[in-house]
Amino acid sequence: RRSGQYTMNHDHSKKTPDGASFDRSGSQDSLDELSMDDYWKELENIHETRGDNHEERVALVVKEPDEGELEEEWLKEAGLSNLFDEGSGDSLESMVFLSTLTRTQKAAVEKRVETVTQTMRKKTKQHQIPDVRDIFSLQKDSKGKVCDGSEPSTVRTSENKNETQDGTKGLKFSLGTDEQKTLLEDLPFSDTDINLEIPFAEQAANLKDSSVGKMCKGGGGDTLLPNFRLPKDKTGTTKIGDLAPQDMKKVYSLALIELTALYDILGIEFKQQKAVKIKTKDSGLFGVPLSVLLEQDQKKVPGTKIPLIFQKLIAQIEEATLETEGLLRIPGVATRVKSLCQELEAKFYEGTFNWENVKQHDAASLLKLFIRELPQPLLTVEYLKAFQDVQNLPTKKQQLQALNLLILLLPEANRDTLKVLLEFLQRVIDHRDKNKMTLKNVAMVMAPNLFTFHGFGSKTIEQSEFVMAAGTANVMRFMIQYQKLLWTIPKFIVNQVRKQNTESQKKEKKDKAMKKLLKKMAYDREKHEKQEKTPND
């Protein structure tokens, strides 16, 4: 029944309004209904490869959260759980962190704290919960300003909400410059320049009421992708991998808050999914969690960051030639792929597998199978839906900004593996004159492998498949086209991390000085008491 459904969709996608057949070589790089041919064909191939054993799979249950649970989880992820749970974390550290946030970021935190607070009040009325206004008022310095130099943020009334959008107030957040102009004055940035200095949510707030916001609209049907670029920066750009792990933790928290703030400003819901844990294989190649794979690979090759089987399959495809027509689109023979898969499971780590038997299309099918069989999607259960929803953002620039933040939110193993995949896909596209695989074709073929995840239980995915298809193919296109930009850490986040570190060091010095003073006072008291005791003895 299922494959019948896809055949039907596939046929539908091939017919043009006047009955002419679809010409694959069309130069227009748009994603209209007619060009969805490759997508549906790929889905058919996926269902064929799955065969009967698909029904035996344990579906990954995505838990429906209770009221306030999502927000609570969000605050934990952002490293701010002590805002509702006094027992967890260093509250002074949190205050330092909060002091570096921008207005829109603070508004996003306030909104979640408010929801959690209300939920907790309902659950237990006796429990003393801090008011959301108090949390932020704690950061005021003697002049009544928040530490980052912007006005204290209370974005609950509609009056204040508009204030956030005019862009003139409080734009001196932690950018390290005293004379930060408003975005609209600062538009020598062309519409294809990606400004990494001003937080994305602040840019969105500024654009919301201005005519600038109307340019470069998103949407699946338009033609070529803009030639986005990073303007030259004297201080250089910071790439993922340039920062120490403890700083990357701070980057994660800031990226989560910034992404949420961006979605809040644009009025789009940002929901993290939460998977209920399922039993997974603890050895092997296919259907094994990335972390387990890397653990076993690191025993063979210390320092491995990308699963060895993944690297080998890409090398195998490239060894033949990337000029093969229909590479990635034409599937390997399903029965042969299945038996190769079993043989690899048995012989790969022993080194006895004969790679000469593997045809190029079979290797490509095995690579896609590996991605699909991961017990949790490469883009993670938490953020898969958020990656899909990027297509709903109003402008292409905002879609790119959201993807940049989402890449920062992926676990290291997922991010590294995705990077190697995208670089490989770009090399395939570089040979498009010979292999006939344009950016659009490759995105069409790869989108179902990354986005239609078997674990969510197939019903919901199949019903909304048609709606989702063009959108996910578009997101796939963005990830391939702009991969170099996506692996950059925005300067405003680097500046916020720097500011946190400086403030933390100051706090540590104060703490040390205070401890020293207390120690000396205790010692002096003890000495004094001893002297008093002596004559009495």
Residue 146 has pLDDT above 60, yes or no: no
Using the CB atoms, write b or e for 256-282: b if 16+ within 10 Å. Answer: bbbbbbbbbbbeeebebbebeeeeeee
Confidence of residue 211 (pLDDT cuts 50, 70, 90): very low
Is residue 212 classed as helix, strand or coil in its secondary structure?
helix
Of the candidates 438, 447, 463, 299, which has an alpha carbon nearest to the alpha carbon of residue 378? Answer: 447
Of the candidates 344, 356, 357, 360, which has an alpha carbon nearest to the alpha carbon of residue 307? Answer: 344
From 25-39, 155-169, 265-279, 312-326, the region with the lowest mean pLDDT:
155-169
Residue 62's contacts (CB-CB under 8 Å, 6 or more residues apart) are: 273, 274, 275, 276, 381, 456
User: Looking at residue 74, what is its pLDDT?
Assistant: 86
Range of the domain at 336: 276-489
Tell me: the pLDDT tens digits for 100-113?
Answer: 899 899 998 988 88
Residue 54 in any domain: the answer is no
Tell me: the pLDDT tens digits for 37-90?
Answer: 788 888 888 877 765 444 445 555 566 666 678 888 888 888 887 777 665 556
Residue 269 in any domain: the answer is no
User: Looking at residue 367, what is its pLDDT?
Assistant: 96
Tell me: the pLDDT tens digits for 355-372?
Answer: 998 999 999 999 999 999
Residue 515 in any domain: the answer is no
Residue 20 has pLDDT above 90, yes or no: no
Of the candidates 272, 254, 246, which has an alpha carbon nearest to the alpha carbon of residue 78? Answer: 254
Helix axes 412-430, 308-320, angle to 10 degrees: 0
The rounded distance, in Å, linking the Cα atoms of 159 and 164 is: 9
Cross-strand bridge partners of residue 217: 395
Of the candidates 322, 318, 317, 325, which has an alpha carbon nearest to the alpha carbon of residue 358? Answer: 317
The pLDDT > 70 percentage for the chain reads 69
φ and ψ at 121, to 5 degrees? -60, -40
Confidence of residue 18 (pLDDT cuts 50, 70, 90): very low
The rounded distance, in Å, linking the Cα atoms of 353 and 367 is: 16
Q: How many residues make up the chain in this entry? A: 537
Average pLDDT, the chain: 76
Of the candidates 368, 355, 369, 357, which has an alpha carbon nearest to the alpha carbon of residue 312? Answer: 355
User: Looking at residue 130, what is its pLDDT?
Assistant: 60
Residue 103 in any domain: the answer is no
The rounded distance, in Å, linking the Cα atoms of 469 and 464 is: 9
Residue 169 has pLDDT above 60, yes or no: no
Residue 433 in any domain: the answer is yes
> Which whole-number Å values give the CA distances from 217 to 214, 398, 410, in the listed order?
6, 10, 27
User: Looking at residue 353, what is its pLDDT?
Assistant: 92
Residue 55 in any domain: the answer is no
The rounded distance, in Å, linking the Cα atoms of 482 and 12 is: 31
User: Looking at residue 124, what is its pLDDT?
Assistant: 66
**Chain position carrying tokens 């949420």:** 260
Q: Could you tell me the two tokens for 51?
A: 């065969």
How many domains does the chain fold into?
Answer: 1
The rounded distance, in Å, linking the Cα atoms of 233 and 194 is: 12
- pLDDT, greater one: 58 or 458: 58
From 161-165, 216-220, 316-320, 361-365, the region with the lowest mean pLDDT:
161-165
User: Looking at residue 62, what is its pLDDT?
Assistant: 61
Output the pTM of the full model: 0.75
Residue 306 in any domain: the answer is yes
* 508: enclosing H helix or E strand: helix 491-536
Residue 502 in any domain: the answer is no
DSSP 84: T
Give the CATH number, domain containing residue 353.
1.10.555.10
Residue 519 has pLDDT above 60, yes or no: yes
